């Protein structure tokens, strides 16, 4: 049987990591994988996470199973953080999931159970796991234009023109903030236009929010999500705590199914619990407990928010420095979009040949579509990247 398995194509980003590790040059820069790194290139455990883990270690008396939906206190704390204090709990069914990926997977499965005909619309481009999981599940999907390679910003006219084709019951997947891989995001006015359009069409929104707090701040980054939830009767929200709590390997996610009232909530909760049961039974708890411990404690929360602000401001400073360096070196403003992007990523607009050239010539590793991880830079390496981009003719 095992010999009959199809060969799997290797993951491009993991291959890039491997190449980077094997590169013997001393001066090399890894802008590939999507993990936050500080100026020393480390991915630290956040202070509040350490403190919460210590507290859990001291007080936890059992590691017996939680409920199928995970600890309700986790869903309550995280939904407050995402949807705001004023959200309507009567609309929300929620389950803890293994990471944001687990939430996305469960959301796609839920859509398939309720409306197998519904097309799921993805931004072009999007995080490659979206189409890959949809393909694995055999769900119908379509793309809408999103990124304007000429300006480096959102192609909003193209997006709305493509979304004119959605049907009633279709699901439009939106990145809550800090779009991966482009870094280009909708303005609040554009969010409202999208929300009004989906409402008029009778379509659903699904929001993937994996970088809350990495863009303009915790509340600002959730503003689009909150607006969608306010406008539309039904929304799915898949959230990840991997980045903003720095707990990647703890696999900490949440899927919220937000409907119109108690009946929808009851049915959705039943299905979410069922899907957890079929796929992995009880969700992991350690990361969820860390998050709950932090969010439910004023001092820990304040410390976590302060550290997250430092992370966010550090990335913004690197963006500004890179845009300034490029303005000077290219004698043009064509890279100014980098300072307008938000989150960990920017798509720079280099061709695959230019990307290869910068890797071979300068030891700079970025994904083939010229997505860079801003957090892979520091104040000393920004000028090196800027010069390489100009030299490569980007």
Torsion of CA 163, 167, 169, 175, to 10 degrees: -10
Question: Does the footprint of ligand PMP cover residue 240 (CB under 6 A)?
Answer: yes
- Binding part of the chain for ligand PMP, among 94-102, 193-201, 334-342, 365-373 by CB under 6 A, reads 94-102
SS3 content of the chain, % helix, strand, coil (to 5): 50, 15, 35
Q: Which of 253, 327, 230, 309 is nearest to 105 (CA)?
A: 253
Active-site residue 127, yes or no?
A: yes
**Pairing state between β 345-347 and 29-30:** unpaired
**Pairing state between β 153-154 and 147-148:** antiparallel
- CB neighbour class for 185 (10 Å; exposed up to 12, middle 13-18, buried from 19): buried
Catalytic one of 203, 210, 386, 392: 210
User: Using CB under 6 A, which of 79, 119, 212, 242 touches ligand PMP?
Assistant: 242
Catalytic one of 170, 243, 323, 388: 243
Question: Does the footprint of ligand PMP cover residue 147 (CB under 6 A)?
Answer: no
Helices (H), 165-217: 188-201
Residue list 154-193, contact with ligand PMP (CB under 6 A): 175, 180
Active-site residue 243, yes or no?
A: yes
Active-site residue 379, yes or no?
A: no
CB of 321 to ligand PMP, least distance (A): 24
Give the 3-state secondary structure of residue 198. Answer: helix
Give the 3-state secondary structure of residue 141. Answer: strand
Distance CA 159, CA 155 (A): 6
Nearer to ligand PMP, 209 or 386 (CB): 209
User: Using CB under 6 A, which of 37, 83, 91, 101 touches ligand PMP?
Assistant: 101
CB of 215 to ligand PMP, least distance (A): 13
Residue 155: count of CB within 10 angstroms of its CB: 20
CB of 244 to ligand PMP, least distance (A): 10
Angle at the Cα of 106 (from 102 to 108), degrees rounded to 5?
120
Q: Sketch the per residue contact string, 28 through 47, with ligand PMP: x for CB under 6 A, - otherwise.
A: ------x-------------
Question: Does the footprint of ligand PMP cover residue 253 (CB under 6 A)?
Answer: yes
CB of 231 to ligand PMP, least distance (A): 22
What's the length of the chain?
A: 394
Residue 240: count of CB within 10 angstroms of its CB: 26
Question: Does the footprint of ligand PMP cover residue 210 (CB under 6 A)?
Answer: yes
Nearer to ligand PMP, 240 or 269 (CB): 240
Active-site residue 57, yes or no?
A: no
Catalytic one of 127, 162, 203, 205: 127
Question: Does the footprint of ligand PMP cover residue 100 (CB under 6 A)?
Answer: yes
CB-based contacts of 254: which residues, under 8 Å, 6+ apart?
70, 74, 75, 78, 79, 94, 95, 96, 97, 103, 237, 238, 239, 241
CB of 127 to ligand PMP, least distance (A): 4
Find out whether 339 and 319 touch, Cβ atoms under 8 Å: yes
Question: Does the footprint of ligand PMP cover residue 125 (CB under 6 A)?
Answer: no
- CB neighbour class for 324 (10 Å; exposed up to 12, middle 13-18, buried from 19): middle
Question: Does the footprint of ligand PMP cover residue 293 (CB under 6 A)?
Answer: no
Nearer to ligand PMP, 99 or 349 (CB): 99
CB of 393 to ligand PMP, least distance (A): 29
Residue list 218-237, contact with ligand PMP (CB under 6 A): none
Could you tell me how many residues of this chain bind ligand PMP (CB under 6 A)? Answer: 13
CB of 272 to ligand PMP, least distance (A): 17
Binding site for ligand PMP (CB under 6 A): 34, 99-101, 127, 175, 180, 208, 210, 240, 242, 248, 253
* Active site residues per annotation: 127, 208, 210, 243
């Amino acid at each position: 049987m095992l010999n009959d398995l199809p060969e799997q194509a290797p993951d491009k980003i993991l291959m890039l990591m491997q190449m980077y590790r094997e590169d013997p040059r001393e001066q090399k820069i890894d802008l590939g994988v999507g993990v936050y790194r500080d100026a020393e290139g480390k991915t630290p455990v956040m202070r509040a996470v350490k403190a919460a883990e210590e507290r859990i270690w001291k007080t936890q008396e059992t590691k017996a199973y939680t409920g199928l939906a995970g600890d309700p206190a986790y869903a309550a704390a995280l939904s407050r953080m995402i949807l705001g204090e004023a959200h309507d709990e009567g609309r929300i069914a929620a389950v803890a999931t293994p990471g944001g990926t687990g939430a996305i997977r469960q959301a796609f499965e839920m859509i398939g159970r309720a409306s197998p005909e519904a097309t799921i619309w993805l931004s072009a481009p999007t995080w490659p796991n979206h189409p890959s999981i949809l393909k694995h599940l055999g769900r119908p999907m379509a793309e809408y234009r999103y990124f304007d390679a000429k300006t480096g910003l959102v192609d909003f006219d193209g997006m709305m023109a493509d979304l004119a084709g959605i049907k009633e019951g279709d699901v439009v997947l939106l990145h809550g903030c800090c779009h991966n891989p482009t870094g280009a995001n909708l303005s609040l006015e554009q969010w409202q236009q999208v929300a009004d359009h989906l409402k008029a069409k009778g379509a659903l929104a699904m929001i993937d929010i994996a970088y809350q707090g990495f863009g303009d701040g915790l509340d600002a980054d959730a503003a689009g999500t909150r607006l969608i939830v306010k406008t539309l009767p039904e929304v799915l929200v898949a959230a990840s705590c991997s980045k903003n709590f720095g707990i990647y390997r703890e696999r900490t996610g949440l899927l919220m199914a937000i409907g119109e009232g108690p009946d929808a909530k009851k049915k959705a909760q039943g299905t979410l619990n069922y899907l957890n049961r079929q796929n992995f039974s009880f969700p992991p708890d350690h990361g969820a407990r860390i998050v709950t411990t932090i969010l439910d404690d004023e001092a820990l929360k304040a410390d976590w928010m302060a550290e997250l602000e430092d992370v966010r401001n550090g990335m913004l400073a690197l963006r500004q420095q890179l845009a300034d360096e490029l303005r000077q070196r290219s004698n043009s403003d064509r890279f100014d979009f980098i300072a307008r992007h938000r989150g960990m990523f920017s798509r720079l607009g280099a061709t695959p040949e230019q990307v290869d050239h910068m890797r071979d010539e300068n030891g700079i590793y970025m994904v083939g579509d010229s997505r860079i991880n801003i957090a892979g830079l520091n104040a000393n390496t920004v000028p090196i990247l800027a010069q390489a981009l100009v030299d490569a003719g980007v």
